[in-house]
A = this chain, B = another copy of it.
Amino acid sequence: MRDAYHEELDALSGQLVEMTRLVGSAISRASTALLDADLVLAESVITADDAVNALRDDLDRRTFDLLARQQPVASDLRAIVTSLRMSGDLERMGDLAHHVARVARRRFPDSAVPAALRSTVLEMSQVAQRLVAKAGSVIASQDVAAALELDRDDDEMDRLHRALFTALLDPRSTYAVEEAIDITSVGRYYERFADHAVSVAGRVVYLVTGQRAEELAAP
């Protein structure tokens, strides 16, 4: 049977998984709001960001309490410090979903995404959702092999990000400066979102193995 202390440690991990769920829902709805120029959906993402921030505050308070009361050592200490960092990554991912929703709101009733770039932005949003779902699974399972897989999805995100700029700069199309500003911003938000998901997975790798994800990744 687990003692109260270890139950608290498990609860931290459960709360982190809950954060990935909220953030995954936020980036999914923000992306739909962006692509379909859906103002109500955009507003709902902007409002929901408070819930992510509140969850993070609560999690950080519990983490700090555990450090102060239990004086953990070795692997428990590593788990607790890691959870502080993951909550930071996840809060930031919530902020980035919020930023995507704000671009959607700013351009309503138009869509901020020109027709020719829709499929690339849609793919970026799908990779983002896949990454955050995988990050949640990895926190729960502590599966190192699965954690290392996130790098591949991130490579796909980087490829899409480059493709977005290539399309923006295609001399055969003419985009307005306003469109270029929006797409540059949105592209960056997805790319950073993905980076933080990879960072979460990398922290699980470090937690379990004591080694950096870069040292373990397949060459």
Contact = CB atoms under 8 A, between A and B. Distances in A.
Interface in A159-192: 165, 168-169, 175, 177-178, 180-181, 184-185, 188
Nearest to A177: B180
Interface in A63-110: 64, 67-68, 71, 73-74, 77-78, 81, 84-85, 88
A178 B67 CA distance: 49
Interface residues of A, number: 23
How many identical subunits does the complex contain? 2
Nearest to A182: B184
Contact of A68 (B73, B175, B184, B188): B73
Interface string A198-215: 000000000000000000
Interface of A: 64, 67-68, 71, 73-74, 77-78, 81, 84-85, 88, 165, 168-169, 175, 177-178, 180-181, 184-185, 188
